[in-house]
Structure 1
Amino acid sequence: MRITGGKLKGRIIKCPDGVIRPAMDRMRESVFSILGDLTGKSWLDLFSGSGTIALEAVSRNAEDVELCEKDKIKVNTILENVRIAEQECGVKIKCHFMPVEYYIKRCRRSFDYIFFDPPFPYKFHEQIIEQADKNKLLNKTGTIIVHRPEEHFMPDKIGNLTRTDKRIYGRSIVDFYTYSE
Protein backbone atom coordinates (compact mmCIF):
# COMPACT_ATOMS: atom_id res chain seq x y z
CA MET A 1 0.00 0.00 0.00
CA ARG A 2 1.17 3.54 -0.68
CA ILE A 3 0.12 7.08 0.19
CA THR A 4 -1.48 8.64 -2.90
CA GLY A 5 -0.90 12.37 -2.35
CA GLY A 6 0.47 15.20 -0.27
CA LYS A 7 3.72 15.34 1.68
CA LEU A 8 3.95 11.54 2.01
CA LYS A 9 2.99 10.76 -1.59
CA GLY A 10 4.49 7.47 -2.73
CA ARG A 11 5.43 6.41 0.82
CA ILE A 12 4.89 2.65 1.27
CA ILE A 13 2.70 1.79 4.27
CA LYS A 14 2.96 -1.54 6.06
CA CYS A 15 -0.11 -3.73 6.03
CA PRO A 16 -0.87 -5.50 9.34
CA ASP A 17 -1.48 -9.20 9.80
CA GLY A 18 -5.03 -10.43 10.17
CA VAL A 19 -8.12 -9.63 8.18
CA ILE A 20 -7.80 -6.36 6.31
CA ARG A 21 -9.37 -4.84 3.21
CA PRO A 22 -7.33 -1.75 2.44
CA ALA A 23 -9.10 1.05 0.61
CA MET A 24 -8.13 1.07 -3.06
CA ASP A 25 -5.55 3.65 -4.10
CA ARG A 26 -7.91 5.03 -6.76
CA MET A 27 -10.74 5.43 -4.27
CA ARG A 28 -8.52 7.12 -1.66
CA GLU A 29 -7.04 9.48 -4.22
CA SER A 30 -10.50 10.39 -5.51
CA VAL A 31 -12.02 10.97 -2.05
CA PHE A 32 -9.18 13.26 -1.00
CA SER A 33 -9.39 15.11 -4.31
CA ILE A 34 -13.11 15.72 -3.69
CA LEU A 35 -12.39 17.06 -0.19
CA GLY A 36 -9.61 19.40 -1.29
CA ASP A 37 -7.25 21.19 1.07
CA LEU A 38 -7.31 19.82 4.63
CA THR A 39 -5.06 22.49 6.17
CA GLY A 40 -6.14 23.06 9.76
CA LYS A 41 -8.89 20.43 9.59
CA SER A 42 -9.57 17.66 12.09
CA TRP A 43 -9.96 14.06 10.97
CA LEU A 44 -11.22 10.84 12.56
CA ASP A 45 -10.48 7.48 10.90
CA LEU A 46 -12.82 4.75 12.22
CA PHE A 47 -12.08 1.06 11.63
CA SER A 48 -8.59 2.22 10.77
CA GLY A 49 -6.99 -1.09 9.72
CA SER A 50 -3.45 -0.03 8.84
CA GLY A 51 -4.00 3.68 9.52
CA THR A 52 -3.64 4.57 5.84
CA ILE A 53 -6.64 6.91 5.70
CA ALA A 54 -5.40 8.86 8.74
CA LEU A 55 -1.95 9.06 7.13
CA GLU A 56 -3.48 10.29 3.86
CA ALA A 57 -5.20 13.07 5.85
CA VAL A 58 -1.95 14.06 7.60
CA SER A 59 -0.12 13.95 4.27
CA ARG A 60 -2.66 16.48 2.97
CA ASN A 61 -2.15 18.89 5.91
CA ALA A 62 -4.87 17.80 8.36
CA GLU A 63 -3.53 18.95 11.72
CA ASP A 64 -5.71 17.19 14.27
CA VAL A 65 -5.96 13.49 13.42
CA GLU A 66 -7.22 10.52 15.41
CA LEU A 67 -7.82 6.91 14.48
CA CYS A 68 -9.66 4.01 16.07
CA GLU A 69 -9.08 0.27 15.53
CA LYS A 70 -10.08 -2.58 17.83
CA ASP A 71 -8.00 -5.44 16.34
CA LYS A 72 -5.00 -5.85 18.68
CA ILE A 73 -3.08 -7.70 15.94
CA LYS A 74 -2.87 -4.41 14.02
CA VAL A 75 -1.57 -2.23 16.87
CA ASN A 76 2.19 -2.54 16.23
CA THR A 77 1.86 -1.99 12.48
CA ILE A 78 -0.41 1.04 12.97
CA LEU A 79 1.98 2.54 15.53
CA GLU A 80 4.94 2.00 13.20
CA ASN A 81 3.10 3.62 10.25
CA VAL A 82 1.97 6.51 12.46
CA ARG A 83 5.47 7.08 13.89
CA ILE A 84 6.94 7.46 10.41
CA ALA A 85 4.19 9.89 9.32
CA GLU A 86 4.53 11.94 12.51
CA GLN A 87 8.29 12.27 11.99
CA GLU A 88 7.94 13.34 8.38
CA CYS A 89 4.94 15.66 8.78
CA GLY A 90 5.43 16.95 12.31
CA VAL A 91 1.82 16.18 13.28
CA LYS A 92 0.75 14.01 16.21
CA ILE A 93 -1.79 11.27 15.40
CA LYS A 94 -3.79 10.08 18.39
CA CYS A 95 -4.50 6.33 18.31
CA HIS A 96 -7.36 4.59 20.09
CA PHE A 97 -7.35 0.81 20.26
CA MET A 98 -10.89 -0.16 21.16
CA PRO A 99 -14.19 -0.99 19.47
CA VAL A 100 -15.46 1.92 17.38
CA GLU A 101 -18.87 1.65 19.04
CA TYR A 102 -17.28 2.21 22.46
CA TYR A 103 -15.09 5.06 21.24
CA ILE A 104 -18.06 6.91 19.70
CA LYS A 105 -20.04 6.69 22.94
CA ARG A 106 -17.07 8.01 24.99
CA CYS A 107 -15.75 10.71 22.66
CA ARG A 108 -16.48 14.27 23.80
CA ARG A 109 -15.15 16.26 20.89
CA SER A 110 -16.02 16.88 17.26
CA PHE A 111 -14.22 16.57 13.91
CA ASP A 112 -14.36 18.23 10.51
CA TYR A 113 -14.19 14.83 8.78
CA ILE A 114 -15.04 11.33 9.94
CA PHE A 115 -14.02 8.48 7.65
CA PHE A 116 -15.92 5.29 8.39
CA ASP A 117 -14.65 2.10 6.69
CA PRO A 118 -15.84 -1.00 8.57
CA PRO A 119 -15.26 -4.56 7.40
CA PHE A 120 -17.67 -5.21 4.54
CA PRO A 121 -19.78 -7.77 6.51
CA TYR A 122 -20.45 -5.09 9.18
CA LYS A 123 -24.18 -4.37 9.49
CA PHE A 124 -24.42 -1.29 11.74
CA HIS A 125 -23.48 1.60 9.46
CA GLU A 126 -26.61 3.62 10.18
CA GLN A 127 -26.40 3.09 13.94
CA ILE A 128 -22.79 4.30 14.04
CA ILE A 129 -23.70 7.43 12.08
CA GLU A 130 -26.75 8.03 14.29
CA GLN A 131 -24.59 7.71 17.42
CA ALA A 132 -21.95 10.03 15.97
CA ASP A 133 -24.71 12.56 15.23
CA LYS A 134 -26.27 12.15 18.69
CA ASN A 135 -22.87 12.63 20.41
CA LYS A 136 -22.01 15.59 18.16
CA LEU A 137 -18.81 13.99 16.84
CA LEU A 138 -19.16 15.92 13.58
CA ASN A 139 -18.70 19.69 13.36
CA LYS A 140 -21.73 21.48 11.91
CA THR A 141 -19.86 22.12 8.66
CA GLY A 142 -18.22 18.69 8.64
CA THR A 143 -18.64 15.54 6.56
CA ILE A 144 -18.96 11.86 7.37
CA ILE A 145 -17.52 9.67 4.62
CA VAL A 146 -18.71 6.05 4.51
CA HIS A 147 -17.00 3.32 2.47
CA ARG A 148 -19.32 0.34 1.94
CA PRO A 149 -20.10 -2.54 -0.43
CA GLU A 150 -22.75 -1.87 -3.07
CA GLU A 151 -25.00 -4.56 -1.52
CA HIS A 152 -25.33 -2.56 1.71
CA PHE A 153 -28.13 -0.01 1.29
CA MET A 154 -27.69 3.41 2.90
CA PRO A 155 -30.57 5.90 3.20
CA ASP A 156 -30.35 9.48 1.98
CA LYS A 157 -31.01 10.78 5.50
CA ILE A 158 -29.69 9.49 8.84
CA GLY A 159 -30.64 11.53 11.90
CA ASN A 160 -29.73 15.14 11.13
CA LEU A 161 -27.38 14.13 8.32
CA THR A 162 -28.16 14.05 4.60
CA ARG A 163 -26.24 12.27 1.85
CA THR A 164 -24.80 14.99 -0.38
CA ASP A 165 -22.68 12.83 -2.69
CA LYS A 166 -22.23 9.20 -3.68
CA ARG A 167 -19.30 7.80 -5.66
CA ILE A 168 -18.98 4.29 -7.09
CA TYR A 169 -15.65 2.44 -7.33
CA GLY A 170 -16.25 -1.04 -8.72
CA ARG A 171 -18.28 -2.90 -6.06
CA SER A 172 -17.50 -0.22 -3.46
CA ILE A 173 -19.50 2.92 -2.77
CA VAL A 174 -18.44 6.01 -0.88
CA ASP A 175 -21.21 8.16 0.61
CA PHE A 176 -20.75 11.71 1.92
CA TYR A 177 -23.10 12.89 4.69
CA THR A 178 -23.38 16.44 6.01
CA TYR A 179 -25.78 18.24 8.33
CA SER A 180 -29.05 19.26 6.75
CA GLU A 181 -29.70 22.97 6.34
Structure 2
Amino acid sequence: MTRIIAGFAGSLPLAVPRSGTRPTSDRVREAIFSALDARGGLDGLRVLDLYAGSGTLGLEALSRGAAVVTLVEKHAAAAGVIRKNAATVLGALPKASGGSSAPRADVVTQAVQPYLRALPVVPGAGFDVVFIDPPYELPEAELADDLTTLAPLLDPDAVVLVERSSRTPEPTWPAGLALDRTRSYGETVLWWASPTP
Protein backbone atom coordinates (compact mmCIF):
# COMPACT_ATOMS: atom_id res chain seq x y z
CA MET A 1 0.00 0.00 0.00
CA THR A 2 1.16 3.50 -0.85
CA ARG A 3 0.90 6.12 1.89
CA ILE A 4 1.83 9.72 2.56
CA ILE A 5 4.97 9.49 4.70
CA ALA A 6 4.98 12.76 6.66
CA GLY A 7 3.36 16.16 7.10
CA PHE A 8 -0.23 17.01 7.95
CA ALA A 9 -1.50 13.99 5.95
CA GLY A 10 1.19 11.59 7.21
CA SER A 11 0.21 7.88 7.11
CA LEU A 12 -2.89 8.45 4.95
CA PRO A 13 -3.24 5.73 2.29
CA LEU A 14 -3.28 6.67 -1.40
CA ALA A 15 -5.03 4.82 -4.19
CA VAL A 16 -2.95 3.61 -7.13
CA PRO A 17 -4.28 3.27 -10.70
CA ARG A 18 -4.87 -0.34 -11.73
CA SER A 19 -2.27 -0.23 -14.49
CA GLY A 20 0.22 2.01 -16.23
CA THR A 21 1.85 3.57 -13.18
CA ARG A 22 4.88 2.81 -11.02
CA PRO A 23 4.61 4.63 -7.68
CA THR A 24 7.90 5.80 -6.20
CA SER A 25 8.88 3.48 -3.34
CA ASP A 26 8.78 4.70 0.26
CA ARG A 27 12.57 4.35 0.49
CA VAL A 28 13.17 6.57 -2.53
CA ARG A 29 10.54 9.09 -1.42
CA GLU A 30 12.17 9.29 2.02
CA ALA A 31 15.50 10.04 0.32
CA ILE A 32 13.95 12.67 -1.96
CA PHE A 33 12.18 14.54 0.80
CA SER A 34 15.08 14.31 3.24
CA ALA A 35 17.21 16.01 0.58
CA LEU A 36 14.54 18.67 -0.01
CA ASP A 37 14.31 19.26 3.75
CA ALA A 38 18.08 19.76 3.82
CA ARG A 39 17.64 22.47 1.15
CA GLY A 40 15.18 24.35 3.35
CA GLY A 41 11.96 22.37 3.01
CA LEU A 42 8.86 22.95 0.94
CA ASP A 43 6.91 25.56 2.90
CA GLY A 44 5.08 27.90 0.55
CA LEU A 45 6.70 26.53 -2.63
CA ARG A 46 5.19 25.95 -6.08
CA VAL A 47 5.59 22.30 -7.05
CA LEU A 48 5.07 20.63 -10.44
CA ASP A 49 4.63 16.85 -10.70
CA LEU A 50 4.94 15.69 -14.33
CA TYR A 51 3.83 12.18 -15.35
CA ALA A 52 2.12 12.22 -11.96
CA GLY A 53 0.73 8.64 -12.04
CA SER A 54 -0.96 8.29 -8.65
CA GLY A 55 0.30 11.70 -7.46
CA THR A 56 2.45 10.33 -4.63
CA LEU A 57 5.37 12.76 -5.11
CA GLY A 58 3.30 15.91 -5.54
CA LEU A 59 0.88 15.04 -2.76
CA GLU A 60 3.75 14.21 -0.39
CA ALA A 61 5.07 17.70 -1.14
CA LEU A 62 1.63 19.15 -0.42
CA SER A 63 1.46 17.34 2.93
CA ARG A 64 4.90 18.73 3.81
CA GLY A 65 4.04 22.38 3.25
CA ALA A 66 3.98 23.18 -0.49
CA ALA A 67 1.56 26.01 -1.28
CA VAL A 68 0.46 24.89 -4.75
CA VAL A 69 1.05 21.53 -6.39
CA THR A 70 0.20 20.97 -10.05
CA LEU A 71 -0.06 17.31 -11.05
CA VAL A 72 0.04 16.58 -14.78
CA GLU A 73 -1.14 13.18 -16.02
CA LYS A 74 -2.44 12.46 -19.52
CA HIS A 75 -4.35 9.25 -18.72
CA ALA A 76 -7.88 10.10 -17.60
CA ALA A 77 -8.24 7.11 -15.26
CA ALA A 78 -4.98 7.92 -13.47
CA ALA A 79 -5.91 11.62 -13.27
CA GLY A 80 -9.19 10.58 -11.64
CA VAL A 81 -7.26 8.61 -9.03
CA ILE A 82 -5.02 11.64 -8.40
CA ARG A 83 -8.09 13.84 -7.84
CA LYS A 84 -9.42 11.39 -5.24
CA ASN A 85 -6.00 11.20 -3.58
CA ALA A 86 -5.73 15.00 -3.54
CA ALA A 87 -9.16 15.25 -1.89
CA THR A 88 -8.05 12.71 0.73
CA VAL A 89 -4.86 14.65 1.47
CA LEU A 90 -6.57 18.06 1.59
CA GLY A 91 -9.28 16.56 3.79
CA ALA A 92 -6.60 15.97 6.43
CA LEU A 93 -5.80 19.69 6.69
CA PRO A 94 -6.22 21.09 10.19
CA LYS A 95 -9.44 23.15 10.27
CA ALA A 96 -7.52 26.34 11.06
CA SER A 97 -5.59 26.03 7.80
CA GLY A 98 -8.48 27.01 5.53
CA GLY A 99 -8.91 30.27 3.69
CA SER A 100 -7.02 31.88 0.85
CA SER A 101 -3.65 30.67 2.17
CA ALA A 102 -4.70 27.00 2.24
CA PRO A 103 -2.59 24.68 0.09
CA ARG A 104 -3.96 23.77 -3.31
CA ALA A 105 -3.67 20.76 -5.61
CA ASP A 106 -4.42 21.29 -9.32
CA VAL A 107 -4.81 18.13 -11.41
CA VAL A 108 -4.30 18.56 -15.17
CA THR A 109 -5.38 15.80 -17.55
CA GLN A 110 -3.02 16.53 -20.41
CA ALA A 111 0.20 15.31 -21.99
CA VAL A 112 3.34 16.95 -20.59
CA GLN A 113 4.57 18.76 -23.73
CA PRO A 114 1.31 20.55 -24.61
CA TYR A 115 0.89 21.52 -20.96
CA LEU A 116 4.39 23.01 -20.66
CA ARG A 117 4.20 24.79 -24.02
CA ALA A 118 0.98 26.55 -23.04
CA LEU A 119 2.45 28.03 -19.84
CA PRO A 120 3.55 31.67 -19.92
CA VAL A 121 7.03 32.56 -18.70
CA VAL A 122 6.38 34.84 -15.72
CA PRO A 123 9.51 36.15 -13.95
CA GLY A 124 9.26 35.59 -10.21
CA ALA A 125 6.42 33.09 -10.55
CA GLY A 126 8.22 30.00 -11.79
CA PHE A 127 8.12 26.52 -10.30
CA ASP A 128 10.31 25.90 -7.25
CA VAL A 129 10.39 22.09 -7.31
CA VAL A 130 9.68 19.82 -10.29
CA PHE A 131 9.31 16.04 -10.15
CA ILE A 132 9.67 14.19 -13.45
CA ASP A 133 8.95 10.49 -13.08
CA PRO A 134 8.01 9.32 -16.57
CA PRO A 135 7.34 5.75 -17.67
CA TYR A 136 10.65 3.95 -18.02
CA GLU A 137 9.93 3.38 -21.71
CA LEU A 138 9.68 7.14 -22.43
CA PRO A 139 12.22 7.88 -25.21
CA GLU A 140 15.24 9.91 -24.11
CA ALA A 141 14.56 12.47 -26.84
CA GLU A 142 11.09 13.12 -25.41
CA LEU A 143 12.51 13.62 -21.92
CA ALA A 144 15.08 16.03 -23.39
CA ASP A 145 12.25 18.01 -25.03
CA ASP A 146 10.42 18.15 -21.69
CA LEU A 147 13.50 19.52 -19.94
CA THR A 148 14.11 22.09 -22.69
CA THR A 149 10.53 23.36 -22.50
CA LEU A 150 10.59 23.35 -18.69
CA ALA A 151 13.85 25.29 -18.19
CA PRO A 152 12.44 28.84 -18.73
CA LEU A 153 9.49 28.08 -16.41
CA LEU A 154 11.67 27.57 -13.33
CA ASP A 155 12.42 29.85 -10.40
CA PRO A 156 16.16 30.71 -10.30
CA ASP A 157 16.57 28.65 -7.10
CA ALA A 158 14.47 25.72 -8.34
CA VAL A 159 15.34 22.05 -8.14
CA VAL A 160 14.38 19.52 -10.81
CA LEU A 161 14.33 15.85 -9.93
CA VAL A 162 14.24 13.20 -12.68
CA GLU A 163 13.52 9.61 -11.64
CA ARG A 164 14.49 6.91 -14.15
CA SER A 165 15.53 3.29 -14.42
CA SER A 166 19.15 2.63 -13.54
CA ARG A 167 19.48 1.15 -17.05
CA THR A 168 18.74 4.47 -18.76
CA PRO A 169 21.41 7.05 -19.63
CA GLU A 170 21.77 10.43 -17.99
CA PRO A 171 19.19 12.89 -19.32
CA THR A 172 20.32 15.41 -21.90
CA TRP A 173 20.34 18.70 -19.99
CA PRO A 174 19.36 21.77 -22.01
CA ALA A 175 20.94 25.20 -21.80
CA GLY A 176 19.82 26.76 -18.54
CA LEU A 177 19.69 23.52 -16.57
CA ALA A 178 22.67 21.66 -15.07
CA LEU A 179 23.15 18.41 -13.18
CA ASP A 180 23.82 18.77 -9.45
CA ARG A 181 24.11 15.14 -8.38
CA THR A 182 22.99 11.58 -8.99
CA ARG A 183 21.80 8.95 -6.51
CA SER A 184 20.98 5.30 -7.18
CA TYR A 185 18.57 3.10 -5.22
CA GLY A 186 18.56 -0.39 -6.72
CA GLU A 187 16.65 -0.17 -10.02
CA THR A 188 15.95 3.54 -9.55
CA VAL A 189 18.28 6.45 -10.25
CA LEU A 190 17.59 10.06 -9.27
CA TRP A 191 19.06 12.94 -11.25
CA TRP A 192 19.02 16.31 -9.43
CA ALA A 193 19.40 19.46 -11.52
CA SER A 194 19.05 23.20 -11.05
CA PRO A 195 18.86 26.30 -13.27
CA THR A 196 22.04 28.00 -14.42
CA PRO A 197 22.36 31.76 -15.09
Please state which band the TM-score falls in when normalised by the shorter chain. over 0.9
- Displacement of 1:18 in angstroms is 2.3
Task: From 18, 40, 43, give the equivalent of 1:39.
Answer: 43
1:93 aligns with 2:105: yes
2:79 & 2:48 partners in 1: Cα distance? 17
Task: From 80, 83, 100, give the equivalent of 2:84.
Answer: 80
1:157 & 1:66 partners in 2: Cα distance? 23
Q: CA RMSD in A?
A: 1.4
Query: Unmatched 5+ residue regions in structure 1?
Result: none
After TM superposition, the score normalised by the length of structure 2 is: 0.86
1:60 aligns with 2:60: no
2:75 & 2:173 partners in 1: Cα distance? 30
- Displacement of 1:180 in angstroms is 2.3
- Displacement of 1:34 in angstroms is 0.1
Q: Which one-letter code corresponds to 1:145 in the other structure?
A: L
- Displacement of 1:131 in angstroms is 1.2
The structure that has the greater radius of gyration is: 2
After TM superposition, the score normalised by the length of structure 1 is: 0.93
1:152 & 1:50 partners in 2: Cα distance? 22
Provide Cα deviations, 1:62-81, integer angstroms capped at 9, x if missing partner: 01111100011213211111
Percentage of identical aligned residues: 28
Aligned to 2:5: 4
2:51 & 2:137 partners in 1: Cα distance? 13
Task: From 168, 185, 196, give the equivalent of 1:169.
Answer: 185
Provide Cα deviations, 1:140-177, integer angstroms capped at 9, x if missing partner: 11011100111211257432111101111101111111
1:129 aligns with 2:130: no
More displaced stretch, 16-25 vs 39-48: 16-25
More displaced stretch, 14-23 vs 42-51: 14-23
Aligned to 1:70: 74
Cα separation, partners in 2 of 1:118 and 1:157, compared to 1, 3 Å: closer
Query: Unmatched 5+ residue regions in structure 2?
Result: 94-101
